[in-house]
Amino acid sequence: MAVWQALELVAKQPETPTAATLRFAPDRWPGHRAGQHVDVRLTADDGYQAQRSYSIASAPEDGALALTVERLDDGEVSPYLVDDMALGDALELRGPIGGWFVWDVADGGPLLLVGGGSGVVPLMAMLRHRRAAGAAVPARLLLSARTVQDILYADELHALGAGDDGPEVTITLTRGAPPGWSGYDRRVDQELLAAVAWPPPQRPRVYVCGPTAFVEEVAADLVALGHDPGLVKTERFGPTGGG
C-alpha cells in the first residue's frame, strides 16, 4: 500500500530545454515495474496542496527512483520541479502506482511502444528494463516529438538502437526537421504506424502514452489496421501533462 513519504532530491539532470530528470533515494521502496508512476504532492506555506502523477523513468533494476518531468509554462507543479527544486529540497511522494500499463520482460513481445512527447518516459523505463534484464524480446519504439531539441533521451535512444538486440527506434518530428534529418517529419497516422508497427498477425503488445488526443488517435489507427484492442494499452496524460 503506497503511503506518502517525504523525499529529498538527490540528483537532477536536464534532458531538454523544458524537461529534467529528478532522482530520489527512498528508504521504503518496494520496487517498481516498468510503466508505473508515482503521485507527487507539494504543499504551499498556506497549506494549499497540488498533486500530480509522474511516470517512473528508471528501470526496476536501477537502484534510484528517477522521474522525468516536462515543464508546462502554466503548470502549478512542473515549473517548480524542473526549474526551482534544488538538491536537498523535499517533496511528498507515494508509489509505485499502477499495474495495468506495465511491461515485464516475462510478458514477452514483440513489443511496440508509441510515445508522444514526454509520453516516452514510461516507455523508456520499459526499454531500460529490457536492457537491464538482458532480454532479446523484439522491440520497436516510435517517438513523436515537436523538434529535435524536444527529443527526450536522444543519446541513450541512439545508443540503445545501435546495440546488438537493441530496439528499433523511429523518431518523427512534427514541427520541422533540421537539414539532413533521416527520420520522419510528420504526425503519426495510419500510414506511419503501418510502416513502423509489427504486422497485426504477429500480435505485438502495444503501449501508447502521450497527450490524450495523440493516444486516442494512435489507438484508433492501430485498431483500424487490425491490431487486437485487447493488446493495445494506453495511458493518457492530458494536454497539460498533469501540470
Partner 1 sequence: MERLDGNAAAGLLQEVFAREMTVAIETCAGCGTSEALGAVHVYMGGPGTVLRCPHCSTILMCIVRVGEELRVDLGGLRRIELR
b/e for 211-238, b at 16 or more Cβ within 10 A? Answer: beebbebbbebbeeeebeeeebbbbbbe
Tell me: does residue 234 bind partner 1 (CB under 8 A).
yes
Q: Can you tell me the distance from the alpha carbon of 61 to that of 34, in angstroms, rounded to the nearest whole number?
A: 10
Return the residue of 95, 116, 167, 210 that touches partner 1, per CB under 8 A: 95
What sign has the CA pseudo-torsion 195, 199, 200, 202? negative
Q: Can you tell me the distance from the alpha carbon of 186 to that of 183, in angstroms, rounded to the nearest whole number?
A: 10
Looking at the Cβ atoms of 94 and 158, the one nearer to partner 1 is: 94
Judged by CB under 8 A, the chain residues 198 through 217 that form the site for partner 1 are 212, 216
Return the residue of 84, 100, 106, 201 that touches partner 1, per CB under 8 A: 100
Span from 75-83, 91-99, 113-121, 189-197 in contact with partner 1 (CB under 8 A): 91-99
Return the residue of 12, 146, 187, 233 that touches partner 1, per CB under 8 A: 233
Segments of the chain assigned E as strands: 5-16, 19-24, 37-43, 49-55, 65-70, 90-97, 111-116, 139-145, 168-173, 205-210, 232-236
Asked if residues 90 and 22 have their Cβ atoms less than 8 Å apart, the reply is no
Element spanning 183, H or E? none
Judged by CB under 8 A, the chain residues 105 through 164 that form the site for partner 1 are none
Tell me: does residue 235 bind partner 1 (CB under 8 A).
yes
Tell me: does residue 238 bind partner 1 (CB under 8 A).
yes
Give min distance, CB of 231 to partner 1, in A. 12
Looking at the Cβ atoms of 176 and 229, the one nearer to partner 1 is: 229
Q: Which residues make beta-bridge pairs with 114?
A: 142, 208
Site string for partner 1, 20-59 (x = CB under 8 A): -----------------x-x-------------x------
Q: Can you tell me the distance from the alpha carbon of 10 to that of 242, in angstroms, rounded to the nearest whole number?
A: 23
Give min distance, CB of 88 to partner 1, in A. 26
Return the residue of 75, 98, 116, 117 that touches partner 1, per CB under 8 A: 98
List interacting residues with partner 1 (CB under 8 A).
1-2, 37, 39, 53, 94-95, 97-101, 212, 216, 233-240, 242
